[in-house]
Amino acid sequence: MMVIALTGFLLVQVNPPELELESGESQRVEITAATIMGRIEGFELSARVIPEERGYFADGRFVAGEPGPGLIIFEVRYKDQVGLKAVPVRVFSSQEGFSPKEAVLAVGDTLIFSVKYGTPEVWRVMPPWLGTIENGVFVAENPGRGVITLKTDKGFHKAKIVVEGQESEPADLQPAEAVLFPGEEITFSVPSSGVLSVDPPDLGRVKGGKFIADRPGNGLVWASWDESGARKTAKAFVRVLPAVFLKPGGSMEIPLPGKARMASVEVSGKGLSAEISSGKLALTATGLGHGAITIQRGKGRNKRIVPYIVGERLISLGPKEISLSPGEEFRPQALTSSKDKAPSLSFVVVPPEAGWMEGGVFKAGDWRGDAWLIGVAPESEGGSGGFVHLIIAPK
Amino acid sequence: MSPNIDDERIEEILRGLPRIQPPPGLKRAIYAGAKSASSRKKWFWATLPIPAAALAGVLVAVLLNTWHKRPSPAPLPHEPLVVAPSDGEVLLPDEVEFMTYGGEGRVEVDGIPVAAKQQKEPGAFIYIPQDLEPGYHKVVIEIDGKKVEASFYVEETE
């Protein structure tokens, strides 16, 4: 598709309108210009690349530099007129030694991917329903388009794949995004024939049109169904917030990313014990209580705070998540059905520097980052409670 | 009549009159008044350069402003542009960058705002989220009414 930019009285056309290259590759770029009277020749052309490390433009070609997003700004001058066109550029790391780089296959076909340099560590199929891959052997399961990625100890490789067949049509899933706490569930609007799946699979369970969150983390809930003879596929983004609710005696395991596996863990508050083992944060509820779990690697940086409640019942607070600027305030409220008696909650701010509660209203302090409000009922009433995720940033 | 003849005549008249001392403090009051008038006059001349310099400054500013506002090429219009990972892309943590052109956009990753770094080129901004954990993430970029959304996967590096 050609993109035309009207700048003053000069029309500037750039072909291709977007560039995707590997580091070190080059691509010819055609620039044409026209006034309202027609195409012009002999114009002055200058090009600049932003940021500079993304590459350079010379002799009609863009030469890719360091990986990342960038722009080429083409400036065309003709007599006293000026035209400007910005072209998006994405530079990827070199894929040398990885093959095949592109493949077209049918459902049921098998394809072997190989890498010349480095030891393969993680193979991935995206979207995951396209097929499976193990030790570089890809088996196509459903028609569609996607990528195979491989992370080795020396680099990161990608290949485009197309699985031929009657491709499913993209559809909408409602809600398109959901924010939950572990233990909460959400119902998606899918036809009765619809099938849900979740990636990563240990993020939660699916049951009919419902997703039940098991552990903190982000993921995609995929839905597919048949409609008027066509296959439909839709997805929703789910965020299971890193807050832990357990009943007394309950336990939970949260997989940790590589960096955090070497971290130390500390619990401030009562009713919970925590340890890191086998790359997982293992939590055990020993009695009623609430507080914060601090996971820290080294000093200062990479510090994560996870609030927790050990109680009889997780109470939904509204809003679940709120963005505030320092000095702004809001009133957290327990979301209970009309027949339930509203619990009397006391609130704790984690970390305390993030703000304070006054008369049932939270006021954000001079703080930047994410923080938590923990609302808990008295232990004599079962210690039930809920969380609000606070995102505090100057506007 | 010359001034000397006048002085002599005045002295002659005064000689015929009884000598009376002026009221107490009159001489001092007359001296003080005369001194004050003299000092006001000096202050006026001493401070005259200040308004003159200020006036000159204002004139220079007006001239510079006029010079700057000479007809110059109009700012070059451009459509807002977003450079971001495509939906479903798999990236390493240090590959996660977004870019807007045409002004500073609002960029949120998983609901958390990402600060912009302005580039040398006017209207160009780069956004690099900090400490992204491995796994799925969602970016929403809004600029001048244009909204781009993408979910992407960050591969673990260790």
Fold of A3-92: Immunoglobulin-like (2.60.40)
Mean of pLDDT values over B93-113: 91
Q: How far is A5 from chain B (nearest CA, A)?
A: 7
- Determine which helix (DSSP H) or strand (DSSP E) holds B3, and give its type and residue range: helix B3-15
B114 Cβ under 8 Å from any chain A Cβ: no
CATH class given for the domain over A244-310? mainly beta
Q: Considering only CA atoms, which of A244, A371, A239, A213 is closest in space to residue A304?
A: A371
Whether B2 maps to a domain, the answer reads no
Please report the pLDDT score of residue A229 as a whole number: 85
Let me know whether B35 and B90 are in one domain.
no
Which residue is listed with tokens 């003879």? A229
The pLDDT assigned to B42 comes to: 55
Phi (first) and psi of residue B3, to 5 degrees = -60, -35
pLDDT at residue B3 greater than cutoff 60: no
Q: Same domain, yes or no, for B48 and B104? A: no
Domain residue spans of chain A: 3-92, 98-164, 172-240, 244-310, 317-392
Residue B137 C-alpha, separation from nearest chain A C-alpha, in angstroms:
7
Q: Is residue B15 part of a domain?
A: no
Q: Provide φ and ψ at A322, rounded to 5°.
A: -145, 140
Q: Model confidence over A42-73: pLDDT tens digits?
A: 999 999 999 999 999 999 999 999 999 999 99
pTM score, two decimals? Answer: 0.78
Supply the pLDDT for residue B32: 63
B92 and A CB contact within 8 Å? yes
In this predicted structure, what is the pLDDT of residue A177?
A: 95
Check if B144 contacts A (Cβ < 8 Å).
no
Cis, peptide link before residue A351, omega less than 30° from 0: yes
On whether the A317-392 domain is CATH 2.60.40.10, my answer is: yes
In the predicted structure, residue B73 carries a pLDDT above the cut 90: no
Of the candidates B89, B151, B156, which has its C-beta nearest A220's C-beta? B151
Q: Which CATH superfamily is domain A172-240 in?
A: Immunoglobulins (2.60.40.10)
In a domain, B134, yes or no: yes
Query: B150: Cβ–Cβ under 8 A, 6 or more apart, which residues?
Result: B84, B85, B86, B87, B88, B89, B138, B139
B136–A89 CB contact, under 8 Å = no
Distance CA A310, CA A111 (A): 49
Q: How far apart are the first and last CA of chain A?
A: 38
Q: Within chain A, how many helices (H) and strands (E) appear?
A: 0, 44
Provide the shortest C-alpha distance from residue B109 to chain A (in Å): 11
Report the residue from B102, B113, B157 with minimal CB separation from A258. Answer: B157
Q: Which residues of B touch A257 (CB under 8 A)?
A: 133-135, 156, 158
Asked if B154 and B91 touch (Cβ cutoff 8 Å), the reply is yes
* Nearest CA distance, B146 vs chain A (angstrom): 16
Chain B closest-CA separation from residue A241 CA (Å): 10
Number of helices (H), then strands (E), in chain B:
3, 9
Does some domain include residue B74?
no
Q: Does B71 touch chain A (CB under 8 A)?
A: no
Longest dimension (CA), chain A: 85
* Claim to verify: residue B49 and residue B85 sit in the same structural domain: no
Contact A199 B136 (CB under 8 A): yes
Q: What's the domain count of chain B? A: 2
CB-CB under 8 Å, A88 with B136: no
Whether the CB-CB separation of A292 and A265 falls below 8 Å is answered with no
Q: CB contact, 8 Å: B46 with chain A?
A: no
Q: Average pLDDT of each block of 10 consecutive residues along chain A (395 residues)?
A: 52 94 94 91 94 95 94 92 91 88 95 93 94 96 94 91 90 94 92 91 93 94 90 95 94 80 87 90 94 83 87 91 95 80 88 94 93 93 91 86
Q: Considering only residues A264 and B68, tell me which one the structure prediction assigns the higher pLDDT.
A: A264
The chain B residue lying nearest A67, using CA atoms, is B95
Q: At which of B37, B55, B73 does a domain end?
A: B55
Query: pLDDT value at position A256?
Result: 84
Residues of B whose CB is below 8 A from A261: 158
Q: Do A69 and B101 touch (CB under 8 A)?
A: no
Q: Say if the Cβ atoms of B157 and A151 lie within 8 Å.
A: yes
On chain B, the residues whose CB falls within 8 A of the CB of A48 are: 121
Q: Report which DSSP code applies to B34.
A: H
CA distance A328 to B20: 83
A136 Ramachandran zone, left/alpha/beta (phi>0; psi -120 to 50): left
The residue with tokens 């609130």 is: A347
CATH assignment of the domain containing B87: 2.60.40.1220
Contact A394, B115 (CB under 8 A): no
Contacts of B148 in chain A (CB under 8 A): none
ipTM for the predicted complex comes to 0.86
How far are the Cα atoms of A3, A30, A47, A82, A86 from residue A34, in angstroms, in the given order? 13, 14, 18, 11, 16
3-class secondary structure, A377: coil
Contact A391 B112 (CB under 8 A): yes
| 8 Å CB contact between A199 and A130 | no
Whole domain around residue B134: which residue ranges?
Answer: 81-154
- In this predicted structure, the answer to whether residue B37 has a pLDDT above a threshold of 50 is yes
Nearest neighbour of A70 by CB, restricted to B78, B99, B158: B99
Q: Which CATH architecture has domain A98-164?
A: Sandwich (2.60)
Q: What is the pLDDT of residue A56?
A: 97
| Residue A316 CB neighbour total at 10 angstroms | 14
